[in-house]
Amino acid sequence: MATHTFHLSPADKKQLVSLLRKGTLPTRVFKRATALLELDRGRSLIQVASTLDVTYRTLTSWKKNYKDRGLQMLTDQARPGRPFKIDGAQRAKITALACSKPPEGHGRWSLRLLADKAIELDFVEELSHSHAARILKKTNSSHT
């Protein structure tokens, strides 16, 4: 089997060693940093893949990403997808509304009433009662 040499720049090597010494890294970043250092030390792709419990294909992908992006490859790139329609400030307003006194004639906020009031107060353009429930669920508050 042919060996493919892999070398880190001295600056990148120093930064990776420093990063690993911190001790508090997400697992993905830790594995990627360790893989780069191990490859730089001359270990084979198969040895490093076995040590880090990743596939050979994953390791070759990390190696290619390092060549293309440098140490930026340690973190994932932004993934495409629909952007959030309701931002944090709007969520906070909806949560505050749910914690406020309910309208006259109501003993408490219902999800439909909350969604309608948020639209009426121009917090958001549209809001379903089920989305209002998800917003409140994420805040550890009770809508009842």
Per-residue confidence (pLDDT) for residue 3, from 0 to 100: 56
Closest Cα partner for 32 from 69, 87, 80, 81?
69
- What is the spatial distance between Cα 51 and Cα 68, in angstroms, rounded to a whole number? 24
Distances (CA, A) of 56 to 39, 68, 74, 121: 13, 18, 17, 55
Q: Which residues in the chain show pLDDT less than 50? A: 1, 143
Instruction: Write the single-letter amino acid at 138.
Output: K
Per-residue confidence (pLDDT) for residue 24, from 0 to 100: 85
Per-residue confidence (pLDDT) for residue 46, from 0 to 100: 92
User: DSSP secondary-structure letter at 102?
Assistant: P
Contact 105/112 with Cβ under 8 angstroms?
no
Per-residue confidence (pLDDT) for residue 140, from 0 to 100: 62
- What is the spatial distance between Cα 95 and Cα 54, in angstroms, rounded to a whole number? 42
Per-residue confidence (pLDDT) for residue 138, from 0 to 100: 75
Q: Which pTM does this prediction carry?
A: 0.57
Per-residue confidence (pLDDT) for residue 139, from 0 to 100: 67
Per-residue confidence (pLDDT) for residue 141, from 0 to 100: 54
